Amino acid sequence: MSRETLQDLTRTRKWAHQKLIEKGSGVYKAFLELEKATFSDGALKKREKELIAIGISVRINCKSCMQ
């Protein structure tokens, strides 16, 4: 993945995040809470969960997920 592609993904993600926050999206807020709970330490440490997520992202070829 090129540096330009990564920069575009970052800009798009930041823009979308800001828009959803500004609109007060309850669904997005719930998603952020779910993400926070998912990646908190528990039976598996946060790092282990992140490594699993990277593996899934690679397998399904989700470029924005891999970023």
CB 39 within 8 A of CB 50: yes
- The structural domains of the chain, with segments of one domain joined by +, span 3-66
Instruction: Check: pTM over 0.85? Answer yes or no.
Output: no
Runs of H (alpha helix) within 1-67:
3-22, 26-38, 46-60, 63-66
Tens digit of pLDDT for each residue in 7-64? Answer: 999 999 999 999 999 999 999 999 999 999 999 999 999 999 999 999 999 999 988 8
CA distance 64 to 67: 5
CA angle 17/12/10 to nearest 5° reads 95
Question: Does the domain spanning 3-66 belong to CATH 1.20.1290.10?
Answer: yes
